[in-house]
A = this chain, B = another copy of it.
Amino acid sequence: MTLTHFSSFASRDDALQYDKNDPLATLRDAFSLPGNVIYLDGNSLGASPAAAVRRAQQVIEGEWSEQLIRSWNTAGWFDLPKRLGNKLAPLLGAAQDETVITDTISINLFKVLSAALGMQQQCDAARTVIISERSNFPSDLYIAEGVIAQLGGRHTLKLIDDPSELPDVIDASTAIVMLTQVNYRTGYLHDMATLTALTQARGALAVWDLAHSAGAVEVDLNGANADYAVGCTYKYLNGGPGSPGFVWVPKRHQDAFSQPLSGWWGHQAPFAMESAYRPDPGIARFLCGTQPIVSMALVECGLDTFSKTDMAALRRKSLALTDAFIACVEARCGSHDLTLVTPRDHARRGSHVSFASPHGYEVMQALIARGVIGDYREPSVLRFGFTPLYTRFVDVWDAAQILGDILDSGAWRQFAKATRDQVT
Q: Interface residues, chain A, CB within 8 Å of chain B?
A: 32-34, 37, 39, 41, 44-45, 47-48, 52-53, 56-57, 59-61, 63-66, 68-73, 77-78, 103-107, 110, 114, 134, 136-139, 141-143, 145-147, 149-152, 159, 185, 232, 234, 240-245, 258-264, 266-267, 270-277, 288-296, 298, 368, 373, 375, 377-378, 420-423
Contacts and interface: CB of A to CB of B under 8 A. Distances in A.
A37 B138 CA distance: 50
A86 to B, nearest CB: 18
Given A78-B421, A292-B296, A422-B73, A141 B276 contact: yes
Contact of A32 (B47, B61, B137, B138): B61
Given A39-B68, A68-B373, A71-B241, A106 B264 contact: yes
Given A48-B65, A52-B60, A240-B64, A267 B72 contact: no
B422 A72 contact: yes
Contact of A106 (B136, B242, B288): B288
Contacts of A142: 262-264, 266-267, 276-277
A106 B48 contact: no
For this chain, the copies found in one complex come to 2
Contact of A294 (B56, B110, B378): B56
Most buried by B among A64, A244, A245, A272: A64
B275 A159 contact: yes
A158 B43 CA distance: 47
Contacts of A150: 114, 150-151, 260
B293 A242 contact: yes
A207 to B, nearest CB: 16
B275 A138 contact: yes
A65 B47 contact: yes
A142 B267 CA distance: 9
A423 B70 CA distance: 9
B373 A293 contact: no
Nearest to A234: B290
A161 to B, nearest CB: 11
A75 to B, nearest CB: 9
A64 B55 CA distance: 14
A360 to B, nearest CB: 13
Contact of A139 (B33, B244, B289): B289
Contact of A263 (B143, B263, B368): B143
Nearest to A262: B146
B41 A68 contact: yes
A271 to B, nearest CB: 5
